[in-house]
Structures are given as structure tokens and as C-alpha cells.
Structure 1
Amino acid sequence: VGARDDGGLTRTRAERRTQDVAPALESDWREFRAQLLARERAVTPEEERARAAAVSEENLKVLETQNPRLAASAPWAHVIGAPEKGCLLVAADHEFRMSQQYFHQAVILVLEHHENGSMGVILNRPTQYDMGYVSGEANGPFAKNALYFGGDVGDGTVSFLHGREDVKGSVEVLPGVYLGGYDSACELVQQDGSTCHADEFKFFARYCGWAPGQLESECERGVWFPVAAAKELSLKQVIQLPKPLWREISELCGGELEEMARKAYQTYEAEQTFSLDNLDADERATDE
């Protein structure tokens, strides 16, 4: 059955369904949601892209040398109302200063979130170890990959993230981000290292876990800010970033999180200056 549009042309229902779908929804609906939020703030897409580019400029330069494919996409992030599978958790700066300090200024990717609880991995806690040391395979395909501390649950567990849809046996966590598929990943890297690089895979020892309702409660209390973000922010290596991942994502979100990051780093820089001044004073006293 045909239907007449405003221009007087007749289109079939199938044609209307195809033409009326927002292009962003065909790839990552979360990015489309980010665009809607930008419109609510009376910010044009061009202005938002320019702001995000300025926030991530130095990190993107590093990413271009590490993983050009990831660097090709524009970064974005915004706060959402509640945690969901595939979102990031940005730790409030005032939390975890005295205990569980591995969570201080942590960024966590939520891998599972349902009525039975939640789990995720910390994205910005690289360890001193690499996969060659952990696996005992000094010449393995991932021997030089950094091993990240994923959380405080699951002794002996190792998981990994990647952006390769051609890795068999992997599970999609959010659009463009996959978990697992080790045998297939090894095969791809070994067979075609020119198009599938080992550094496209990010490995984690252990993970974070929450009981049913616990994560929602912590978010409501302000322990974590749930954030939707571009997949590149989850997949990139965080070693040698000019701007720490926690700060980058907070600034990309703008508003309360950007202000939180600004104050946190103002305090940090002031403390560093104070320490250097005291060191200089001690050295002068010693010389005298």
C-alpha cells in the first residue's frame, strides 16, 4: 500500500521505513543520543566536535601513532541517567582516596549489567607486566601487550577487549567493542599481522563485580558517574597518554564532570608546586 508524503510523491511503506531511519541509528545509537543531548544544550554538531577535538587533541596525536584506525573517529562522551551495559563508570574524584585506591580516578567499562548484578574492567590501570610474562609465551602473538589490572574480583582470570568483528567467538559488549575470542585473535594476528595488529587487543587481569542493585546504589550516591562514550575511549591503550583517560572523559562530558576534573588537577598542580618549593628550600638549607 502506498502512502503520500508532503511533496505529493507516493512511497511504499518499506521505502518510508528505509528513508525515515536516522543514519546514526544504523551504526551506534549511543552517538545519536549524544547528538540529541548536544541539541538540547543549544550546541551545534560542529561546535561540539570542535570542543571535543580540543579536549582530546594531544591524546589523538599519540593514538595516531599507536592505532590510526581508532584515531580516525571523533571522540565523544556524555553523562547518562543510570548505568547500562556498555557504559563507562567515571569515579568521583573524592572517592577511594584512602581505601581501594586502584579505583581512584578509575574509568570502568561495564561488561554486564542485569538483575543478577554487574561486572566490568578498569580501563586505565596498566600493570608492569606484559602478556608474555603472564602466559609464559615469550614469542606469542600478544607477548608484548600490556596487562591491565581489571579489578579486585576473579583471581587468575584474564579477559581482553578489541574492535574486530572478524574475531570468531567474541561477544559484542557495545557497538564496535568485543570481548574474547582468543584462539581466533591469535590466528588473525599470526596470519595477517599487516592488517590485524596485536596492539588492537587490550588484556585485563581480574575484573570488578557488583551484587544486584549495588551499582545503581553507588551511582545514586555519587560514587560513580555513568557515561556513554565513543568506543575508541574503551579500546585505546592508555600508556603514555599526555592527558589521563579519567581527565579526558570528564572534560569531554562537560558540565559537572569537567569542573570536577579541573578542580582535581588544580589541586594536584598546586601540591606539586608546593613539594618542589619545599625541596628547593631544603636544598638551600643544606647548602648553607
Structure 2
Amino acid sequence: MAKAIQNGSILISEPFLGDPNFERSVVIICQHDKEGTVGLVLNRLSAMQLSDVVEVNETMFDAPLAVGGPMQPNTLHYIHRLPNLPDSLPIAADLFWGGDFEELTSWLNQGLVKDDQIKFFVGYSGWSPGQLEEEIEKNVWFVNNNAANKLLTLNTDTLWRDILKEMGGKYKMYANYPADPSLN
């Protein structure tokens, strides 16, 4: 039986997914309800920095932009550990999604936000009602409901492998699968 999806769940793609949008990806679920599911891919960096799309004082704060998913790539999203940011939506213990962007920009320009407190994304990942549950039943995704609180501090390049190793058991074995099994 698959683990229940909830806000803050982490999806880890199976090793040979074959979808370039989600191959070896780690996704945090920001919203899961009767309307569907919204998530952000945590380990796909774009070639852009925040300062490429938003007017910020680069000497006070700048950060790489991740590709949150294939949907609406012209939108900006963020998860953070800023509980006092107005209009933020809690998604896990000490982890929030969105919030008052003008206030956030002011904080960034004042140097009040540190790199390990926030992550920015262009685009997002989305599933219609029931679609994600079907994918989980087909073993497209592994679910971890206990990793959200450490996601902003882990290495993006090794995140997929690190989360699987931490899950232990059969997942630790998946972490060592080569990206191309024909090269094994």
C-alpha cells in the first residue's frame, strides 16, 4: 500500500522513470487537496539566478533558480523558513510556500534572508485529482513524509541519491542504480 500524500510529502522518482521533466527528481508537495496537487522539483537547477528575473540587490542576496516543473515556466515560486512572512502557507514543520512577495523582496534587499532559508523556482509540477495517487500505485514515485524539514540544506546535486539512502532498506539499493544501466 502506498503512503498517503500530504502537504510536505517528498516524492522521489523511481530510478528509470524516462520522463526528462522528472528523471531522478525530488519533488516537495506544496498543496494536495480535492483540486489536485502542486509540487516543486528540488533538484533541477536552471541557468538563471534570481537577479535575472527579479530586481534584487545582488550584493545582499542572490540565488540560483530551480526548475520547479514543466507547468507555467514563466511563474516564480518559493519555499522558505520565514514563518513571519505574511500570507505564507505552511507545508511542513518550519517550512512554508509563497507569501507576500513585496515584503520578501524588501527583506532580501536588506540582507535579512540567508541562502539556507529560501529556495526559488520557475514553474511548478501539477497533477489532476487522483493522478498522483495512480502514479504512486504504479511505483513511479517513492513517498517520504519525514524529510521536508531538511530540504533547504541538502546538496541539490546529490539530493535524489541522499534521500533514498536515508530512507534505507530497498531504497538504499535504488540510490546506487546507475543512470544508464547499459553502462554498468
Matching of residues 1-288 of structure 1 within 5 Å: 81-96=3-18, 100-135=19-54, 137=55, 139=57, 144-181=62-99, 182-191=101-110, 193=111, 196-236=113-153, 238-239=155-156, 241=157, 244-264=158-178, 271=183
| CA apart distance, 1:205 | 0.4
Residue 189 of structure 1 and its aligned partner are, at CA, apart by 3.4
Return the structure number with greater relative CO, CA threshold 8 A, min gap 6.
2
Unaligned runs of 5+ in 2: none
The question of whether the paired residues in 1 share the 8 Å contact of 2:116 and 2:152 is answered with no
Which protein shows a greater Rg? 1
Q: CA deviation at 1:259?
A: 1.1
Q: Percent identity?
A: 27
Distance 1:145 1:155 in 2: 17
- Partner SS for 1:167: coil
Segments of 5+ residues of structure 1 without an aligned counterpart are 1-79, 275-288
- Structure richer in strand, relative to its length: 2
Give the C-alpha shift of residue 115 in structure 1.
1.6
| Pairwise CA distance, 1:138 | 6.0
The one-letter amino acid of 1:261's match is A
Distance 1:225 1:207 in 2: 19
Deviation at 1:86, TM superposition (A): 1.0
Residues 1:237 and 1:230: Cα distance change in structure 2 (over 3 Å)? closer
What's the offset of the Cα at 1:198?
Answer: 4.7
CA RMSD in angstroms, aligned pairs only = 2.5
Asked if structure 1 preserves the Cα contact closer than 8 Å seen for 2:50 and 2:64, the reply is yes
Asked whether the equivalents of residues 141 and 186 of structure 1 are also in contact (C-alpha less than 8 Å), the reply is no
| 2:51 aligned partner, one-letter code | G
TM-score of the aligned structures, taking structure 1 as reference length: 0.57
Structure 2 residue identity aligned to 1:121: L
Q: What are the Cα deviations for residues 23-69 of structure 1, in whole angstroms up to 9, with x where unaligned?
A: xxxxxxxxxxxxxxxxxxxxxxxxxxxxxxxxxxxxxxxxxxxxxxx
Q: How many residues align?
A: 183
Q: Are the counterparts in 2 of residues 169 and 184 from structure 1 also a CA contact under 8 Å?
A: no
Q: Normalized against structure 2, the TM-score is what?
A: 0.87
Q: What SS is found at the alignment partner of 1:235?
A: coil
Higher helix share: 1
